[in-house]
Structure 1
Amino acid sequence: MRADPALVERGLVVEGVLGAGGHSVVYRARDERHAREVALKVLREESRLESAAERFAQEIRVAAGLRHPHILPLYDSGVLADGRPFAVMPVAHGEPLRAVIDRGPVPLGEALRLVHEVGEALTYLHERGWVHRDVKPENILVESGHAVLTDFGISAPVDSITRRSSPQHVASLWNAQRFTSVGSVVGTLPYVGPESLFGDAPVHPRSDVYALGMVLYEMLAGHLPFTAESAATLLSQRLEHPLPPMAGMRDDVTAELDAVIARATQADPEQRFASIGAFVAALDALPTPGGLAARAVRRRTLVALVLAVLAIAVGTWRVLAPVYLDPDRVVVADLSNDTGDPVLTPIGTVAGDLITAALSREQGLEVINATMSLGSRQRPRLPAADSTLQRATRALVERAHAGLAVTGAYYREGGQLALLAELIDTRAGEVIGAIGPIAASPTAPERGLRILADSVVAMVKRRGSARVPALPTAAPPR
Structure 2
Amino acid sequence: MEDLLGTGGTSVVWRARDEVLGRAVAVKVLAGSADRERIRDEARNAAALSHPNLAQVFDYGESDGTPYVVMELIDGETLERRLAAGPVPPDEAFRLCAEVAAGLAAAHVAGLVHRDVKPANIMVTTTGAKLVDFGIAAPAGAGEERVLGTPAYVAPERIMGGAVTPASDVYALGVVLYKLLAGVLPWPGETTTGVVRDHVHTPPSPLPDQPGVPKPIAALCMSCLAKDPANRPPARFVADTLARAAARAVLGEPVARTPRWRLALAAAAVGVMAGAWLYSGASPLREPSGPSGPAGGAASGAPPAATSSSSSTSSSAGPVTVAATTSNGPQQGGGAPPTSSAAPSASPAPSLSAAAPVTFTSDGGTAAARCADGRAELTAWEAARSYKVETVTPGPAATATVTFRHGNDLVDIAVTCAGGTPRSEVTTRKR
**Into which bin does the TM-score normalised by the smaller protein fall?**
0.5 to 0.7
Q: Using the TM superposition, give the Cα deviation of residue 355 of structure 1 relative to its aligned residue in structure 2, in angstroms.
A: 5.8
**1:194 equivalent in structure 2:** 156
| TM-aligned CA distance change 1:32 to 1:268, over 3 Å | same
2:385 to 384, 404, 414: 414
| TM-aligned CA distance change 1:93 to 1:209, over 3 Å | same
**2:305 equivalent in structure 1:** none
Contact map agreement 1:96 1:141 (CA 8 A) in 2: yes
Q: Using the TM superposition, give the Cα deviation of residue 126 of structure 1 relative to its aligned residue in structure 2, in angstroms.
A: 0.9
Structure showing greater relative contact order (alpha-carbon pairs closer than 8 Å, 6 or more residues apart): 2
* SS in structure 2 at match of 1:39: strand
Task: Output one character per residue of 1:297-330: Cα deviation in whole Å (capped at 9) or x when no partner.
Answer: 8xxxx9xx998x5686456579xxxxxxxxxxxx
| TM-aligned CA distance change 1:60 to 1:103, over 3 Å | same
| TM-aligned CA distance change 1:148 to 1:380, over 3 Å | farther
2:45 to 51, 62, 66: 62
Structure number with higher strand proportion: 2
Identity %: 35
**1:10 equivalent in structure 2:** none
- Count of aligned pairs between the two proteins: 315
**2:182 equivalent in structure 1:** 221
Q: RMSD over aligned Cα, in angstroms?
A: 4.2
Does 1:264 pair with 2:224?
Answer: yes
| TM-aligned CA distance change 1:33 to 1:227, over 3 Å | farther
Q: Map residues 76-475 of structure 1 onto 2, 5 A cutoff.
A: 76-81=59-64, 83-159=65-141, 185-198=147-160, 200-226=161-187, 228-248=189-209, 250-273=210-233, 275-284=234-243, 288=248, 290-292=252-254, 295=257, 309=263, 313=267, 340-341=286-287, 370-371=354-355, 379=357, 411-415=382-386, 442=404, 443-446=411-414
Q: Using the TM superposition, give the Cα deviation of residue 223 of structure 1 relative to its aligned residue in structure 2, in angstroms.
A: 2.5
AA aligned to 1:106 is V
Q: Using the TM superposition, give the Cα deviation of residue 42 of structure 1 relative to its aligned residue in structure 2, in angstroms.
A: 0.6
Runs of 5+ consecutive residues of structure 2 not aligned to the other structure: 289-343, 360-378, 389-401, 405-410, 425-431
Contact map agreement 1:247 1:255 (CA 8 A) in 2: no
CA distance in 2, matches of 1:131, 1:39: 23
> TM-score, length-normalised on structure 2?
0.62
> TM-score, length-normalised on structure 1?
0.57
Structure number with higher helix proportion: 1
CA distance in 1, matches of 2:53, 2:40: 21
AA aligned to 2:104 is L
CA distance in 1, matches of 2:381, 2:3: 62
Runs of 5+ consecutive residues of structure 1 not aligned to the other structure: 1-13, 162-178, 319-330, 343-350, 360-366, 372-377, 382-407, 418-439, 455-478
**2:15 equivalent in structure 1:** 28
* SS in structure 2 at match of 1:119: helix
CA distance in 2, matches of 1:368, 1:380: 9
Task: Output one character per residue of 1:378-417: Cα deviation in whole Å (capped at 9) or x when no partner.
Answer: 7599xxxxxxxxxxxxxxxxxxxxxxxxxx9975431459
Contact map agreement 2:264 2:352 (CA 8 A) in 1: no
Q: Using the TM superposition, give the Cα deviation of residue 206 of structure 1 relative to its aligned residue in structure 2, in angstroms.
A: 0.3
* SS in structure 2 at match of 1:135: coil
CA distance in 1, matches of 2:271, 2:59: 61
* SS in structure 2 at match of 1:444: strand
| TM-aligned CA distance change 1:291 to 1:269, over 3 Å | same
Name whichever of 135-144 and 309-318 sits farther off. Answer: 309-318
